[in-house]
Amino acid sequence: MARHLLLGMYLVLTIGAARTFAHHSFAATYLEDQSVTIEGELVQFMYRNPHSFVHVMVKQKDGTSIRYAVEWGGVGQLGYQGVTKDTLKAGDFVIISGSPARNPDDHRVRMITLKRPKDGFNWGQREGEVVD
């Protein structure tokens, strides 16, 4: 419980820090006080500026799938953290938590954490691992 509390405090602090100098308004783009978790097969990883995007096919209750676009950091930020264009590959099963978009039709999420269970790779729980 204490660990979760610390993680929560960390996320609040880091998200708050991002607000001070984000290059576009996350507040105007995402519901920052809400969180969603999606999981599915990664179909595309766009490692680029100004921000990277991860596209994930998420199965719905009715059996259909929706392609979600998850906004991640830019090349400089992710590269500094050891993430390269080859870190994620199409076909990877990933679990992602993040802030949902204000426009639900976009099926878009601002990444807070990413986990790849098959090898334990994760992002978003170490200092500086926040999309800004």
Partner 1 sequence: MKTLSICALLFLAAVPARAQVDLAGDWRAVQHEDTFRRGGVLVGEYVGIPLTPGGRLRAESWTASQLTVPEHQCIPHPVTYAEHSYAMGQMRVWNVVDPETAKIVAIRKRGTWMEPERTIWLDGRPHPPAEAPHTWQGFSTGRWDGHVLTVTTTHIKSGHLQMNGVALSDDVTLTEYFTRRGNYLTNVTILHDPVYLTEPFIRSSTWELDPSLNFVRYPCGPNEIVVEIPRPPNFVPHVLPGQNTGLDEFAVRYGIPVEAAGGGAETMYPEYLQRMKTAPVPAAPKPAAAAAAAR
CB of 21 to partner 1, least distance (A): 5
Q: Which is nearer to partner 1, 25 or 119 (CB)?
A: 25
Q: Which is nearer to partner 1, 107 or 122 (CB)?
A: 107
Q: Which is nearer to partner 1, 75 or 122 (CB)?
A: 75
Question: Where along the sequence are the contacts to partner 1 (CB under 8 A)?
Answer: 18-29, 31, 34, 46, 48-50, 53, 55, 67, 69, 71, 74, 76, 100-104, 106-108
Residues in contact with 41: Cβ distance below 8 Å, sequence separation at least 6, in sequence order: 56, 57, 91, 92, 93
* DSSP H stretches of helix in the chain: 2-19, 26-29, 75-80
- Alpha carbons 79 and 96: distance in angstroms, whole number: 19
